[in-house]
Amino acid sequence: MARKNRNKEIQEQQILGQETKKKSPKLSALPPVPEDMPLAMPVQNLREKPTYAKLPKYFRVYLARFIAFGGALAVGTIGTWQLNAAMGSGKNTLLQWVLLFLFSLTFYWVSFSATAALAGIVPKIRRRKLSAEEAAKKTEKIAIVMPVYGEDAAMTGANLLSIAESVAQTPIASRCEIFILSDTQNADIWLQETNAFQILRKKSPLPVYYRRRSENFARKAGNVADFVRRFGGRYEYMLVLDADSLMTGETIAEMIYRMDAEARLGLLQSCPQLIGGRSLLARTIQFASSLYGGVVARGIDAWQGTEGNYWGHNALIRTRAFAESCGLPELKGRRPIGGHILSHDFVEAALLRRRGWIVRMDSDLDGSYEGLPPSLEDLSGRERRWAQGNLQHLGVLRTRGFTWTNRMHFAIGIAGYLMSPIWLLMLSVGIIITAQALFTQPEYFPLAHQLFPNWPTFDARKMLGLFFSALSLLLIPKFIGLLAAMILPSRRRKFGGIFALIKGFFAELFISTLYAPMMMLLQTNHIIDIILGRDSGWATQSRSADVMPWKIALARTKSYIIAGIIPLAVLAKFAPEQLLWLSPIILGLLLSPLLTRHSGNNRLGKFLARKKFLLIPSEISPNKIILNAYKNLAEFAEIADVELLKASANQEIIKRHAASIDKKEKLPNNQEIKMNTITARAKLENCQSCQELGEFLNKQEKIIIAANLDLLEKIAEKCPAATQ
């Protein structure tokens, strides 16, 4: 009966959406941006506590927090006490005390990973929402916002077209508009974006707007803030996406119904599922996310309650709440810790909550998707930016008005990256203690007049128990996810059946174990870079990869090989029994060239898929919106080869580009821009051919030309072959 009612509701939504679509005006005739409707977004004072409304408290949330944090405290304390007992109470050496301290940090961490997942057993709070009929009566506009920075314009266009087509089948279609916020600084990609925008506008059932900033102030956070300050008054809510995001119209509508019903709900975060991974590493990560991610998400949902977090995309935000709460200040101090806040999403969530807005993650919101890095190199680049962004949060932890839950979000994010160097230090200290025991004679009477000897103690049974306890804690979320999928027939089928599910489970466990030592060393290197003051920069996210040449793979992993060979040689000669415990780490380091070379191997990924390894539900039974996104790529195929020097004489491309330029957006009036404008004109006048232009024009000059239609005409004179 419930399913029949749900199907009836979906049919009613589709009928309402189709009626809305028929009433739509000719969308291709709209200007590139709507009229400005400014919304004040003051920069927040982190030292001044604002007044805020009291929010409801729920016993279930406190129970979940008791399980997550109280459980981690209890389990971690027991583990620390057991290690101290295993080493000999009160007679530890300095190195043993250091080992005990480092072990306690890691054991508390793995304990929390398990107890936080177990918190998901607490029943969820009932979510209020408007009915489809009530929501259809509302007229406040909603912006579906996609910030881009040098992304694949065909991919973003195809994704947005799929979203628009899906939203058009819902009652909220008449309220929604798509807004592309470009920070692109490459002239060729800018032309691809503007041409994709015009194609999207012609085919989309929703209005589509496009604004490119000429100056990338404060990166993505500045891009969204600029949108809010200029156009925010037009929109009640904004759905913030990433460049590779996909969301079904039904999920978007559900989020809007929930926000419409909760006047104090400032931000509603969905739980994006990872899709589109074809390489070995990407398949491994997305399988883990599909099988275990729901378990982790339910636990987070349970213990954070109304004091949730923001992941930067696939989230619905109340625009006025965001404007009044989330103007980000620059952090004091030198880069990389100081400056513009990189991991802005955590901070924005805490600032919303500081002013009395509910911030929530609803783990039952499916139909939300995102992509992932295809190779270890791309993953490392993203992790480097995230590490810097999370360590920056040390500068905001003391902000007045944050709740302890918000501070815990920051602490968890910081600890997630500091844990790698802590693991490495703990392993190093353990190896030193082992070497000390092998190569030094124990001193039984360290004092001259000591009556009784200090017998060296070491309880091997307790140490073995601690090892398996830590391993079990790490695997608890994985086993919960596996058992849930095995028990539920519908979930088993989504993973291709029980045998495909079990094969995928063990393949993911094996592959992720091999990659773990490299990730530990990579993240440790990131932390060292940040401490030394090296900024991560702002690079475009790579969406594709392939097999890395052996020469490059060996060059990038030679330090890992050495780090694996040294303990292997020493332990094999003097303590071969210790190799069993360190074998996963040593094996991963010795295989690092192979693992690095094939992390982006799409052919290997396809082979595993054919053999039913690491299959995920979106591959076996893909949502319609995923299929539409792949199909819609063909609509944007013509922009693939668009380049400034090739396209400048093609009147259709230039016409689309000119129609997409926001006349109010001007290049910064500074000395560098003026100089580049002068040199761009001089090169256009003096270069004799298109080839010469390609050799002499720099990146900044090309951007200036792309922003100036007169200069584009001058290029057309030099590159007449572009019309062919």
- Structural domains present in the chain: 2-47+132-273+307-376 (3.90.550.10), 666-724 (no CATH)
- Reduced to 3 states, what is the DSSP secondary structure of residue 150? coil
Spatial separation of the C-alpha atoms in residues 159 and 155, rounded to whole Å = 6
Q: Which backbone phi and psi does 317 adopt, to 5 degrees?
A: -125, 135
My answer on whether omega of the bond before 336 falls inside 30° of 0, hence cis, is yes
Q: Which helix (H) or strand (E) holds 679?
A: helix 671-686
Euclidean distance between the first and the last CA atom of the chain, given in angstroms as a whole number: 62
Spatial separation of the C-alpha atoms in residues 689 and 683, rounded to whole Å = 11
Spatial separation of the C-alpha atoms in residues 721 and 716, rounded to whole Å = 9
Structure token pair of residue 714: 């001058």
Give the type of residue at 584: P
The answer for 183, left when phi > 0, alpha when psi is -120 to 50, beta otherwise, is alpha
Structure token pair of residue 638: 């013509």
DSSP state of 44: P
Supply the pLDDT for residue 52: 76
Supply the pLDDT for residue 277: 93
Supply the pLDDT for residue 10: 45
Residue with tokens 């000669």: 573
Supply the pLDDT for residue 392: 93
* C-beta of residue 238 within 8 angstroms of C-beta of residue 314: no
What is the average pLDDT value for the chain, to the nearest integer?
88
Residues 6 or more apart whose CB falls under 8 angstroms from that of 454 comprise 91, 443, 444, 445, 446
- How, if at all, do strands 246-247 and 368-370 pair? antiparallel
Kindly give the parts of the chain with pLDDT less than 70: 1-29, 88-90, 438, 440-460, 536-545, 720-724
My answer on whether omega of the bond before 42 falls inside 30° of 0, hence cis, is no
Supply the pLDDT for residue 20: 43
* C-beta of residue 407 within 8 angstroms of C-beta of residue 343: no
Spatial separation of the C-alpha atoms in residues 438 and 456, rounded to whole Å = 13
Q: Around Cβ 22, how many Cβ atoms within 10 Å?
A: 7
The answer for 669, left when phi > 0, alpha when psi is -120 to 50, beta otherwise, is beta
Q: Around Cβ 502, how many Cβ atoms within 10 Å?
A: 14
Spatial separation of the C-alpha atoms in residues 31 and 197, rounded to whole Å = 12
pTM over 0.85: yes
* C-beta of residue 524 within 8 angstroms of C-beta of residue 428: no
